[in-house]
Amino acid sequence: MLFTFVNACLNSESWVCGVGIDEKIGSHNIVISTDLMNDLIAGSFGSIPGSDDANGRLDGLLWYKDSGNHITGEFSMAVVQANSLLEDHSQLESGPISLHDSGPEATFVGVYDGHGGPEAARFVNERLFYHMRRCTSEQRGISPDVITKAFVATEEEFLGLVQEQWKNKPQIASVGACCLVGVICNGLLYVANAGDSRVVLGRLESPFKEPKAVQLSSEHNASIESVRDELRLLHPNDPNIVVLKHKVWRVKGIIQVSRSIGDAYLKRAEFNEEPLLPKFRVAERFEKPIMRAEPTITVHKIHPEDQFLIFASDGLWEHLSNQEAVDIVNSCPRNAVARRLVKAALQVAAKKREMRYSDLEKIERGIRRHFHDDITVIVVFLHAANFGVGTPVSVKGGGHLSGNAFL
């Protein structure tokens, strides 16, 4: 989305002035009040059904699957839409991680936060897990190299699609997706991230203390000094590789993230020209890709004190700190806990605008984007001492929210 200014007047009882928004605008957390935390724990957001459909349920702009089982524990998922077309896509797959039945069993979690449009995130949601299984089969096991190959294969396939549609739909060269993946296999957690989504671990360091938040993913956002340093090192002859614009650091003055799948116009010079509209193009021709698709990968051995994982797009982390999110999960029943995290973030978003949560709920998609981003949350509970094989599970986040369909 382009940087725009919109003024929205809701009603006589609550007013909100729109601000400049973009797919990756920086923001600041505010501390959740004690009253709000107590409301969350008490469940004052309304009743939570005890069960849900196999593919989740819809409630207006909210999709949720309150509970389910994966091969090493339980999970909870929720998605709330803000954009006119849902740009957040996600999945949880649990079962064989290769194309062979005799291959390893794993739980695969993917959060794909689209920008510029939903096409790249939709594509990744359909193809990345396939490439993960294919590469695992070829290499006879999961590894950081296998995960990187799956990301690169998905990227190359999407860029091929951009090439095919270039003349008739050139704007597809300007869409991309941040990709966060977690793979739990044989007592190890592999975390791969390209962009600024995040996974946080809730770790119980003492039986008499609350779980501590431990961030497991590395982010690629130009607001982070180390990311700017990396870009300058990779592009030493480009003084404008990162630009401070409207108090926000951006790659080439355009986008906040430095890694993604898609964004072909910042990776191949052939897509940085007509018929792509001038507003999407970089002024000078480049020889070296400005953005990258290769993820940063970490491997974490799962210990008995590791209680749960919170995977979420940056729409959640704009409003909740790591520790606030962990505290909510720890304090609430497992059933519907992802929904509680989403609603906690929306409560904070409403409070920032001095409006009521109930008024925020009434705002339609599209206009909602001026108040918060699409938000995806997947909470995965860990049973580190009980790894076993279960019935394969496949859930795609978002269900039939507007725009949640393949190309």
Q: What is the pLDDT of residue 321?
A: 98
* Angle value at C-alpha 181, between 137 and 40, nearest 5 degrees: 140
Q: Which residue stretches of the chain have pLDDT < 70?
A: 1-52, 384-390, 399-400, 402-407
Q: What is the pLDDT of residue 390?
A: 62
Q: What is the pLDDT of residue 101?
A: 74
Residue pLDDT, tens place only, 295-317: 999 999 999 999 999 999 999 99
Q: What is the pLDDT of residue 150?
A: 98
Q: What is the pLDDT of residue 23?
A: 44
Q: What is the pLDDT of residue 400?
A: 66
Q: What is the pLDDT of residue 14?
A: 28
3-class DSSP state of 385:
coil
* Mean residue pLDDT across the chain: 86
8-397: CATH class: alpha beta
- Domain spans of the chain, in order of start: 8-397
For 257-316, list the strands marked E by DSSP.
261-262, 296-301, 306-312
For 323-327, which contacts have Cβ atoms below 8 Å and span 24 or more sequence positions?
A: 323/212, 323/213, 324/29, 324/31, 324/32, 325/200, 325/213, 326/200, 326/202, 326/211, 326/212, 326/213, 327/37, 327/210, 327/211
Instruction: Report CA 21 to chain centroid distance, whole Å.
Output: 18
Conformation bin of residue 101: beta by default, left when phi > 0, alpha when psi is -120 to 50: alpha
